[in-house]
């Protein structure tokens, strides 16, 4: 990335999972009058990320309409059952197809409803200021997503396997910056989590 050049950052929202522990599609849970999927897609689309890709998998037909009117691209991970890594690879391939010149990507989850566009922008700002290869969220002793990955890591992202997503890639980096983001600690996996969402 050339000096003084504003980085071009794309976004990927991971929303392909089957919500097996929840027993219903978490993407369609209501929060503040919108589904979790719409919340996540809107946040990424309203951020500095351009373009934004939303990765669907399970329940694609039911979920696709949630992005109507939003400036996002959709793609389907045919191998969504194999885990989060396959969704990252699917989304990244689509993103590079649309915008081959991007300098970095921010990856977020559809079930972190308190993550906003302004919070996502902080990842891009920190990347532009320091040039770290990874900028990750830090919460409750965890370093994870949302997270930004620079272009130099696209190859490693494309080789991920299993359901850990980019967790090991994040934790094994020396040149990593973190952003305190306690709002990202709340995610939804179980019926109790769904109950807490609107309680």
57: left (phi over 0), alpha (psi -120 to 50) or beta: alpha
- Between 24 and 70, the more confident residue is 70
What pLDDT is stored for residue 66 in this prediction?
A: 83
Backbone φ and ψ of 92, nearest 5°: -65, -40
Cα(146)–Cα(124) distance, rounded to whole angstroms? 11
- In which element (H, E) is residue 134 found? strand 134-139
- 72-100 as b/e: b if 16+ CB within 10 A: bbbbbbeebeebbbbbbbbbbebbbeebe
- Between 94 and 171, the more confident residue is 94
Indicate yes or no: pTM above 0.85.
yes
The per-residue pLDDT for range 80-122, each reduced to its tens digit, is 888 889 999 999 999 999 999 999 999 999 999 999 999 999 9
Tokens of 85: 């890594």
What pLDDT is stored for residue 2 in this prediction?
A: 46
């Amino acid at each position: 990335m050339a000096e003084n050049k504003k980085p071009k950052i794309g976004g990927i929202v991971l929303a392909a999972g089957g919500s097996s522990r929840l027993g219903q599609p978490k993407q369609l849970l209501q929060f503040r009058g919108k589904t979790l999927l719409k919340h996540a897609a809107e946040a990424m689309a309203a951020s500095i990320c351009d373009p934004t890709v939303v990765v669907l998998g399970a329940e694609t037909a039911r979920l696709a309409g949630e992005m109507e009117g939003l400036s996002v691209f959709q793609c389907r991970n045919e191998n969504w059952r194999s885990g989060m890594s396959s969704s990252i690879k699917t989304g990244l391939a689509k993103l590079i197809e649309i915008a081959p010149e991007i300098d970095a990507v921010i990856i977020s989850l559809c079930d972190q409803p308190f993550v906003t566009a302004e919070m996502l922008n902080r990842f891009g700002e920190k990347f532009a200021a320091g040039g770290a290869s990874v900028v990750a969220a830090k919460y409750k002793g965890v370093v994870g997503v949302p997270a930004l990955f620079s272009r130099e890591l696209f190859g490693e992202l494309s080789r991920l396997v299993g359901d850990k997503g980019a967790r090991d890639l994040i934790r094994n980096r020396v040149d990593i910056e973190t952003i305190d983001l306690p709002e990202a600690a709340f995610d939804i996996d179980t019926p109790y989590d769904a109950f807490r969402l609107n309680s």
